Structure 1
Amino acid sequence: MRNRRNWGVTAVVVALLLSGVTPKGQAATRVYYVDRVAGSDSAAGTSPQTAWRTVGRVSAAALAPGDSVLLRRGQTWSGRLTVRSSGTATAPISIGAYGTGERPVLGGDPDRCVELAGSHVRLSDVQVGTKTTTGRCGWAGVLIAGDHDRVEGVLVTGAAAGVYVAPESEGAVITDNDLVDNNRMSVNTPGGYDDSGAFAILVQGDRADIGWNRISGSIAASYDYGEDGAAVEVYYGSGNHVHHNVSVDNETFTELGTAPDDPDGVSADNVFEYNAILGSRTHAALVTRGGETDEGPVLRTVFRNNSVSLPNAAAEGVVCYGGCTDEHLELAQNVISAAAKAAYADPGFTATHHNVFHGLLQLDPGTTDVVVDDPGFTGPSNLRPRPDSPAVDLGTTAYADVDLDGNPVGLDGRVEAGAYELPVARR
């Protein structure tokens, strides 16, 4: 919904670039074209008729703020595309597509297929990786190392980490993407409990905005854990905002951790809100920990207005262990249904309010929490509330402007628990 607000501006800018007209007050920008079939790396690259041929030529280019590189649709490149140059907040460097047909495909690198090393770089309208062995990205589909880089409208598949936000990155935006079957393990060895991988998004940087994505199939066999993976894994990262995503059949929606070598010394203040988390293969919505484990403490995680339905017999909705206290987690205005247990937290945890829990509860519910036999979802894969759902009007605070459907939150003065508002017309 909200992405449409920028379409008119984008269309005007693209038209100006293609016509050679520079908006008043802006430096001249360049558009480069890449055609794997008809291009030549010795050509100028500045028109479809003089297109470059390889992503290596793109990686070697000294791009300037406002420049664009467009890959021809319907074509596939093997090898790494790296953007080392930086744009600015008002003139980002853009990597996108031109022509007709399917999205251009970038794949086949043994480590990462796309590396955004510069800042203010935007990647859009491409596919990164494939499900075939030769087209896969060995580790990451997209590696974000710069600040304020943006990945939008991209299909990422087949990697160990679909999008990896490196520790040095700050302010990345990952929005409106399809992250499908990023189901490879990067470490998978018997013993040691060190297996790792199958991440749709792995966040080690700070203050990333991760919203409006569709994430599925981040799950893989693991020697140590049986199965492993996550839609959004946060390790080291602080101040990240994960919101308005749909997560289906990922092993876990999110797990948070840290370590003594965390570059800024702490993992804290991550917020998860207005996400729908479901699927028969998912084993947990959120896993975090206090300071009594090697991978803790993770401080001040907020999990609010999420809708969770996990029918797997082993599924647990929320788990906070290892000395979990109110300093580590707050649960607010969620609807959580899980077959094994709705929630677990260590004794003494009390930061829970205005939630609907369905399933075994191994924490002391707050006075405003509701424990029910029926969470009131419309259906097993439709987590919108029925009019008789206990989630209706349970909330007190509008934490976001719109719900997961793009409907206004609290427009009628009432707020639902969970990721979806009940439209006024259905009341």
Structure 2
Amino acid sequence: MRLLSVAVMASLLPAVPSAALAQAGTTYYVDSKAGNDAAAGTGAATAWKSLDKVGSADLKPGDTVSFKRGSSFTSGLTLTASGTAAKPIVIQPYGTGPLAKISGTDADCVVVKGNHWRISGLRASGCRWSGFEIGGDGNELVGVQADRNIAGVFVTPSGSRNTIRASVLTDNNRMSVNDDGGDNDSGAFGVLLNGDDNLVTGNTITGSFAKSKDYGTDGAAVEIFNGDRNRVTHNTSRNNETFTELGAQKGKTATGNVFAFNVVTSSRSRGSFLITRGPRHVVGPVKGTVAVHNSVYLPARDTIGWSCHDGCAPSILKLRNNVIVVGGEAGWEDGKGADEDSSVYKARKAKFKLGPKSVMADPKFVSRTDLRLRPGSPALGRGRTLTPAWYGGKALGKDIAGKPLPGTPDAGAYQR
């Protein structure tokens, strides 16, 4: 695929309420090299030095904290204040050079306990568990970076209506549980969603995998566990173990999650696009998952497009307008099977019933890395017209390159 810059991708995404709304607060500055916590902090020449100073500051709605590029910190940043929808508290970069970096295995790097923060221009690397932990409501991560964590971004069970967009989550490749037996290894998440109604859009997520004693390797670009109505759209996924895996504890739910307009490729020897479960599984049932307009290319033999097992049914998984090429199994279902239609598959084998407009054929991708469609592709014009509820709302009704959907759409993440 032709990779777009984060800035270009951000421009293609729907507008999100943010700091563009009038800021009337105070701007504080932080510089790990030349700062002084005894200074006023209200100018670059009087910048603060430490994260502790930021965490203890009496920040108000509309305030801004500017981190100098090139700064480096080895303790965590905990944000407990709250902004408002009209006046979020903003974190942003200033100066030139690399993003300010927060690292250190003694703490999670950035922990957001408050509401209505807009955080950009930070890198969280090699943290205790997560790079960014979001536990509040109405927060936005935009243009951040996270690497070498167990989870690049972790939205806790109390985190809802948050947005993670236009960010780069790379090689979050550590396990939190990795022991012999028990079918319980866990870790290596680009994004882990335990909360509800969050939006993950326009991100580049790569290298989410790690060695596992139970599974050989494990990891996911976006893992959803006990989270409802999350929308995962317009993301670029490369070389992750799985794009998404869903589960729920007994007594909990992971209902109504949507995956749309994502581009998923991998050169790894194994991998999958989507894994979900029915009621007979220990972390099932996962109900109402929807996957539409995704383009997937996983050429290795030990790969699978999607799996809906331990009691699959149309109420468990619905798929429309996808293009999935794998070297292994296109899809797998048991029970009553998934509700699948209007897609193109190419694989060595498949264990599911094709929908009326789905076909097994070469979709004619431009190349192994460019999943646009060449002339004559059977995916052209194959899609069904879908209402906005299928892909997460009217504002998200564009392909991954920002083109509006035509009346008769193509299958896959790209439209002509």
Shorter-chain TM-score bucket reads over 0.9
Pick which of 357-366 and 327-336 moved more: 357-366
Provide the C-alpha distance between the structure 1 equivalents of 2:397 and 2:335, rounded to a whole number of angstroms.
34
Deviation at 1:197, TM superposition (A): 0.4
Matched, 1:99 2:95: yes
Matched, 1:44 2:20: no
Please list every run of 5 or more consecutive structure 2 residues that lacks an aligned counterpart in the other structure.
1-7, 389-395
Deviation at 1:348, TM superposition (A): 2.0
Question: What residue is the counterpart of 1:217 in the other structure?
Answer: 207
AA at the equivalent of 2:410? E
Contact residue 110 and residue 139 of structure 1 kept, 8 A: no
Provide the C-alpha distance between the structure 2 equivalents of 1:3 and 1:222, rounded to a whole number of angstroms.
35
Provide the C-alpha distance between the structure 2 equivalents of 1:100 and 1:337, rounded to a whole number of angstroms.
42
Provide the C-alpha distance between the structure 2 equivalents of 1:55 and 1:178, rounded to a whole number of angstroms.
23
Trace 1:53-64 onto structure 2 (pairs within 5 A). 53-64=49-60
- Aligned CA distance change for structure 1 residues 283 and 213 (closer, same or farther; 3 Å): same
Deviation at 1:4, TM superposition (A): 3.3
Question: What residue is the counterpart of 1:330 in the other structure?
Answer: 318
Question: What residue is the counterpart of 1:133 in the other structure?
Answer: none
Deviation at 1:10, TM superposition (A): 8.4
Question: What residue is the counterpart of 2:410 in the other structure?
Answer: 416
Trace 1:5-16 onto structure 2 (pairs within 5 A). none
Equivalent residue for 2:10, pick from 3, 21, 24: 3
AA at the equivalent of 1:271? V
Matched, 1:146 2:136: yes
User: What do you get for the CA RMSD once the two structures are aligned?
Assistant: 1.8
Equivalent residue for 1:241, pick from 231, 234, 247: 231
Provide the C-alpha distance between the structure 1 equivalents of 2:71 and 2:142, rounded to a whole number of angstroms.
20
Q: Secondary structure at the match of 2:366?
A: strand
Please list every run of 5 or more consecutive structure 1 residues that lacks an aligned counterpart in the other structure.
14-22, 130-135, 423-427
Provide the C-alpha distance between the structure 2 equivalents of 1:110 and 1:152, rounded to a whole number of angstroms.
25
Deviation at 1:151, TM superposition (A): 0.5
Q: Secondary structure at the match of 2:376?
A: coil
The percent of aligned pairs where both chains have the same amino acid is 41
Equivalent residue for 1:345, pick from 309, 312, 333: 333
Count of matched residue positions in the alignment of Structure 1 and Structure 2: 397
Trace 1:99-118 onto structure 2 (pairs within 5 A). 99-118=95-114
Question: What residue is the counterpart of 2:293 in the other structure?
Answer: 305
Contact residue 68 and residue 93 of structure 2 kept, 8 A: yes
Instruction: Tell me which stretches of 4 or more aligned residues in structure 1 moved more than 6 Å.
Output: 9-13
Q: Secondary structure at the match of 1:268?
A: coil
- Aligned CA distance change for structure 1 residues 233 and 213 (closer, same or farther; 3 Å): same
Q: TM-score, normalised by structure 2?
A: 0.92
Output one character per residue of 1:53-73: Cα deviation in whole Å (capped at 9) or x when no partner.
Answer: 100111111210011111111
Matched, 1:250 2:240: yes
Q: Secondary structure at the match of 1:71?
A: strand
Provide the C-alpha distance between the structure 1 equivalents of 2:18 and 2:293, rounded to a whole number of angstroms.
32
Greater RCO structure (CA 8 Å; 6+ sep): 2
AA at the equivalent of 1:292? R
Matched, 1:88 2:84: yes
Trace 1:319-398 onto structure 2 (pairs within 5 A). 319-359=307-347, 360-372=349-361, 374-398=362-386
Question: What residue is the counterpart of 2:4 in the other structure?
Answer: none
Matched, 1:67 2:63: yes
Structure showing greater radius of gyration is 1
Trace 1:126-275 onto structure 2 (pairs within 5 A). 126-129=122-125, 136-260=126-250, 265-275=252-262
Provide the C-alpha distance between the structure 2 equivalents of 1:186 and 1:278, rounded to a whole number of angstroms.
25
- Aligned CA distance change for structure 1 residues 50 and 115 (closer, same or farther; 3 Å): same
Pick which of 225-234 and 32-41 moved more: 32-41
- Aligned CA distance change for structure 1 residues 10 and 345 (closer, same or farther; 3 Å): closer
Output one character per residue of 1:258-293: Cα deviation in whole Å (capped at 9) or x when no partner.
Answer: 0026xxx32100000000011122510000000001
- Aligned CA distance change for structure 1 residues 312 and 396 (closer, same or farther; 3 Å): same
Deviation at 1:11, TM superposition (A): 9.7
Question: What residue is the counterpart of 1:276 in the other structure?
Answer: 263
